[in-house]
Structure 1
Amino acid sequence: MTHEGTTSVDHGRGYYDQAHLDGRGDYSWDDEHWRDFFMSVADRLIGAFAPASVLDVGCGRGLLVQALTVQGVDASGLDISEHAVATAHADVRDRLAVASATAPIEGRYDLVTCIEVLEHMSATDAQLAIDRLTAVTDRVLFSSSPDPHGEPTHVNTQPGEAWAAWFAERGFFRRTDVDLSMITPWAVVFERGELTPHEIVRRYEQQYARVRTELLDKRRALLDADRAVNSLRERLDEGPADAEEVERLRAEVAQHRHAVLVSRDHVIGLEAENGRLQRDLSVVLPELRKLQRRVTVLTKRREELTAKLQDTRQRLERNRKRVAQLEAPPAPQASLTRRVARRVRRTFA
């Protein structure tokens, strides 16, 4: 089933006033929470990539653009919402433009960001948008909610491995050494690269091994905490000597119970990350192999065309020489007569 994408009307004043923006004050540069958040994001991006130029596709009111600009980055933004651009802060409004992510993008950028945008677009438009993003940069910071979360405008939510595979089709692969979960848990950087299956597997296995080790440690800690809680409960059931001992044991039970809950949350999060990495790898590797086969075919075709081009040039050169001979002017008649006379004199001398 296909879905129609959202339009500028869907992202008007009501959209920016809704609780989907966390209900944390006014979504503007003047709000301390949002200003601090985007300044921290800008710090992270500058620290990780040191970009001289950044384009934020789906920039909203341009808060990230403004945070980057404040720190000396040449940043600009595009957004489909006329309301968002019109209500942007005066300091950054001239850096923003109303445009769809499917429109051709001018220029070239060190980094393109696209945060929580493509889930609002139809499946067809989202693919075109990926083409536009990857055409103007070698690095894309990408985030797209994998869950509708009750948001009516989320018409095209996809799991992370699907986006990873689509970017891989364009020659972009996940940077496993960059953590941008401060933006969203599913934020990722895709970077252009000619990676071999060996390098792809090495990167993902490196990340998988770290997550797997941490997951096992958390599971072990969870089991130890659960055992401690059960031991304390048994001691309580045996009947401690006095009320003071009861309170101490209850405090220990509460402390261990909290540790169990924290460890359980960590295990759940690590298992989810582990699953995402495995799915990413299973999807990206076949796409990489397809790309390599395509490169092989195109390389062979290029060699064939190069040989044909050389043959055509040689034939063209031969034809050029023939034409030059045919177009050469005939020898003057007087000169020909003199040559004939000299030959007759030599013959009869």
Structure 2
Amino acid sequence: MSETPSTSGEVIAEYFLDAVEAFEDLVFAQRETPPEHYDEEYFADGWRDGGNRYELETRRRIEARNPQLIQEVFSPQRVLDVGCGPGFLMLFLQELGIDVHGVDYAQASVMLAPPQVRDRITIGETSAVDAPARSFDLVICREVMEHLTVLQVRETVRQLCEASSRFVYVTTRFHPDPATLLDVTTQFDVDPTHITLMSKDLLRVLFVLEGFRRRADLEAQMDWAGKRRVLVYERA
């Protein structure tokens, strides 16, 4: 860090400038994961911890009460699942009578999806969602942000908010111990495509800048497993 200025305000400003410069270097060094990485092996092979494979009954067990909770908390009529993978949550919501659609980056998602929702999945980037403005009363994006670059995260947040007429429900993995708002880390030991674990506060700021307010009460309801990885925002 450069020479310490004389006033506390200048010290804080200079310290944060160092954080901004480090953030800038990281952002421009990041590289997107190509869609071909997310092939059938990525979703279906046994490399995942705890047998967390994308098979119908495995996903039904892992989802547990989530689909019913989504219905109870949000009472949605139309749902968009951004980064839906092979669409198992879509299927479980459809079984509850909800009109649900999905977007995913990987062609393998459609190949592995249950027949009931296969034609409801659109292949596309989460940062370029092809949906009319405010056409879904609930937009879901779960365990996706960590797979994106920071620039993709920023644009994905904009897309989620653009598509939602009311709620956005997000889960992701966050930096476990950020020293500043701009700290970003990785989690390659869990998944080699976990390239962006940002601070929770930074992701919250991005939603506020899109005109959405935090619903802490709904976050508490959706975080039934106590993982502290849930964000819920409502159009202001």
The reply to whether TM is greater than 0.5 is yes
- Counterpart of 1:11 in structure 2 is 38
Q: Aligned-pair distance for 1:36?
A: 3.5
* Corresponding residue pairs, total: 191
Change (3 A) 1:159 1:76: same
1:53 lines up with 2:78 in the alignment: yes
Greater helix content: 1
Counting only pairs closer than 5 Å after superposition, residues 150-229 of structure 1 correspond to structure 2 as 150=189, 151-178=191-218, 179=220, 180-182=222-224, 184-193=227-236
Q: Which of 148, 170, 190 lines up with 1:121 in the alignment?
A: 148
Q: 2:127 aligns with which of 80, 98, 102?
A: 102
More RCO (CA 8 Å, sep 6+): 2
- 3-state SS in 2 of match to 1:111: strand
Alignment of structure 1 residues 24-173 onto 2, 5 Å? 24=51, 26-29=53-56, 31=57, 33-38=58-63, 40-107=65-132, 108-137=135-164, 138-147=166-175, 148-149=186-187, 150=189, 151-173=191-213
| 1:309 paired residue number | none
Deviation at 1:64, TM superposition (A): 0.8
Partner Cα separation in structure 2 for residue 58 and residue 95 of structure 1: 13
Structure 1 residue 173: deviation in Å? 2.1
Q: TM-score, normalised by structure 1?
A: 0.52
Q: Is the 8 A contact 1:142 1:188 kept in 2?
A: yes
Measure how far apart 1:124 and its partner are. Answer: 1.4
CA contact (8 A) 1:39 1:64 kept: no
Structure with the higher fraction of residues in strand conformation:
2
1:22 Cα deviation after fit: 3.2
* Pair 1:192–1:39, CA change in 2 (3 A): same
- Aligned counterparts of 2:170 and 2:147: Cα–Cα separation in 1: 14
Counterpart of 2:5 in structure 1 is none
Q: CA deviation at 1:24?
A: 2.4
- 5+ unaligned residues in a row in structure 2: which ranges? 1-25, 176-185
Within 2, Cα distance between the matches of 1:5 and 1:62? 23
Larger radius of gyration: 1
Which whole-Å deviations, capped at 9, do the CAs of 1:267-293 have from their partners, x for residues lacking one?
xxxxxxxxxxxxxxxxxxxxxxxxxxx
Distance 2:63 2:85 in 1: 12
**Aligned equivalents of 1:182 and 1:34: distance in 2?**
17
Q: Counterpart of 1:94 in structure 2: which amino acid?
A: D
Cα deviations by residue, 1:221-250 (Å, 9 ceiling, x for unpaired)? xxxxxxxxxxxxxxxxxxxxxxxxxxxxxx
One-letter amino acid of the counterpart of residue 152, structure 2: D
Q: Distance in 2 between matches of 1:119 and 1:25?
A: 17
Residue identity opposite 2:223 in structure 1:
S
Q: How far does residue 109 in structure 1 lie from its aligned partner after superposition?
A: 0.2
Equivalent residues of 1:62, 1:92 under 8 A apart: yes
TM-score, length-scaled by structure 2? 0.75
Distance change (3 Å), C-alpha of 1:160 and 1:18 = farther
Paired residues of 2:45 and 2:53 also in contact (CA < 8 A): no
